[in-house]
Amino acid sequence: MALAAKRVLLLSRYDRKGASSRLRFLDLLPDLERYGVRVTASPFFDDAYLERLYAGEKAGLGALARFYLRRARVLLGARRFDAVWLEKEAFPWLPAWIERLFLRGCPYVVDFDDAWHLRYGRHRLAPVRALLERKLERVVAGAAATVVGNDFLAEWARAAGAGRVVRIPTTLDPGRYHPAARPPAAAAPLVVGWVGSPSSMEHLRTIAPVLGEMAAAGEIALTVVGAVAERLQDCPATYLDWTEAGEADTIAGFDVGIMPLTDSLWSRGKCAYKLLQYMAAGLPVVASPVGMNCEVVVDGETGFLPSDAEGWRQALRRLRADPALRAAMGRKNRARVEERYSRQAVAPRLAECFRAVCGG
């Protein structure tokens, strides 16, 4: 006899325009349904809020109040579900005792794909630190399970008192990505692509001098996707808007995908999603040797992990000069994503987590 479906209330931070909410939650819902976990999603912020945020605008107090009231109303009905699934927290910028009050009697699973605790614990304002410094540690300690995207976050969760920690990487659907059909050439400029949000441009700027020098020499052509309001100084580039419908086709136009990172605690909490996108499209990758990048990339086999400017220069030049190497790395990357980082590979593990929390 088939098991009854488990009903889960998802409290995501954003709707589909929020990358983390889309990738770690919303995209997985059809897969979870097939494994008997039926999810009802309720984002905190709407897409319009995120559009204003990326445009540098602030939400009015009235809009923010509506978001909090909507979340409170949703949580008042949470006991109709078998479990609650939190993206990081239920109420941003409110203390843990409020979350415990609304979640009382509801088993919940909390998910982290970033070192979100640093936003509170290292905030520049002392009152914020005093009120919220240990908030997420308290949320984790009260969770029936804590899902994390990498080992760095798993260590933090265990130190915070998490009883059950489940490590599930950020995933994607490889079927959405199709390697370019054009034959690679060594003579043409290497199309180097980067995808990210405006807030991630600080990482790209760390290698802008190398990219600018190589672009000026005709060695590369840089494409920046998703941060059109930001510009790199002295670095010629093509800037494209990000769209969910068009991102796979845009990435297919790259010859290599890059993910530079500064080495910080925040960066070590990242889950290397940009790299997974490039890899799914059959591309070689070049990335900083920070955090999960070192797990995703096999240095010298599926891409390169340069640690300084000269290393970046040499890696890009080698890939430009050797189309066969680019093709071989791209094939390995595609297979690696299908085996380890696809939604189809991890959905059963996530469904098992919910069944354990829900009791069967």
183's tokens: 């034959």
Looking at the fold, whether 149 and 186 belong to one and the same domain comes out as no
- In this prediction, residue 212 carries a pLDDT of 95
Q: Name the residue among 51, 44, 30, 23 with its Cα closest to residue 247.
A: 23
Task: Tell whether 186 is covered by a domain.
Answer: yes
> HSE-up of 34 (CA within 13 Å, CB side)?
9
> HSE-up of 261 (CA within 13 Å, CB side)?
24
The whole-angstrom separation of Cα 87 and Cα 299 is: 32
Task: Tell whether 99 is covered by a domain.
Answer: yes
The whole-angstrom separation of Cα 23 and Cα 26 is: 6
Q: What is the CATH number for 63?
A: 3.40.50.11930
Task: From first to last of the 360 residues of the chain, give the pLDDT tens digit.
Answer: 356 789 999 999 999 988 889 999 999 999 999 999 999 999 999 988 888 887 778 878 888 999 999 999 999 999 999 999 999 999 999 999 999 999 999 999 999 999 999 999 989 999 999 999 999 999 999 999 999 999 999 999 999 999 999 999 999 999 999 887 656 566 689 999 999 988 889 999 999 999 999 999 999 999 999 877 678 888 999 999 888 889 999 999 999 999 999 999 999 999 999 999 999 999 999 999 999 999 999 999 999 999 999 999 999 999 999 999 999 999 999 999 999 999 988 999 999 999 999 986
- The domain of 92 spans 6-171+342-358
Looking at the fold, whether 132 and 235 belong to one and the same domain comes out as no
255's enclosing H/E stretch is none
Q: Are 236 and 220 in contact (CB under 8 A)?
A: no
- In this prediction, residue 1 carries a pLDDT of 36
Looking at the fold, whether 190 and 154 belong to one and the same domain comes out as no
Looking at the fold, whether 106 and 231 belong to one and the same domain comes out as no
Q: How many helices (H) and strands (E) does the chain have?
A: 18, 12
The whole-angstrom separation of Cα 69 and Cα 218 is: 55
303: left (phi over 0), alpha (psi -120 to 50) or beta: left
Task: Tell whether 202 is covered by a domain.
Answer: yes
Looking at the fold, whether 316 and 235 belong to one and the same domain comes out as yes
Looking at the fold, whether 232 and 145 belong to one and the same domain comes out as no
Q: How many domains does the chain have?
A: 2
Looking at the fold, whether 288 and 197 belong to one and the same domain comes out as yes
Q: State the Cα angle at 17 between 15 and 19, rounded to 5°.
A: 95
- In this prediction, residue 360 carries a pLDDT of 65
Task: Tell whether 325 is covered by a domain.
Answer: yes
- In this prediction, residue 96 carries a pLDDT of 95
Q: What is the CATH number for 334?
A: 3.40.50.2000
Task: Tell whether 1 is covered by a domain.
Answer: no
Looking at the fold, whether 102 and 179 belong to one and the same domain comes out as no
Would you call 62 helix, strand, or coil by DSSP?
Answer: helix
210's tokens: 């190398």
Looking at the fold, whether 63 and 142 belong to one and the same domain comes out as yes
- In this prediction, residue 184 carries a pLDDT of 58
Task: Tell whether 61 is covered by a domain.
Answer: yes
The whole-angstrom separation of Cα 320 and Cα 318 is: 5
Looking at the fold, whether 80 and 187 belong to one and the same domain comes out as no
Looking at the fold, whether 117 and 25 belong to one and the same domain comes out as yes
Looking at the fold, whether 119 and 244 belong to one and the same domain comes out as no
Task: Tell whether 65 is covered by a domain.
Answer: yes
Task: Tell whether 117 is covered by a domain.
Answer: yes
88's tokens: 């990081």
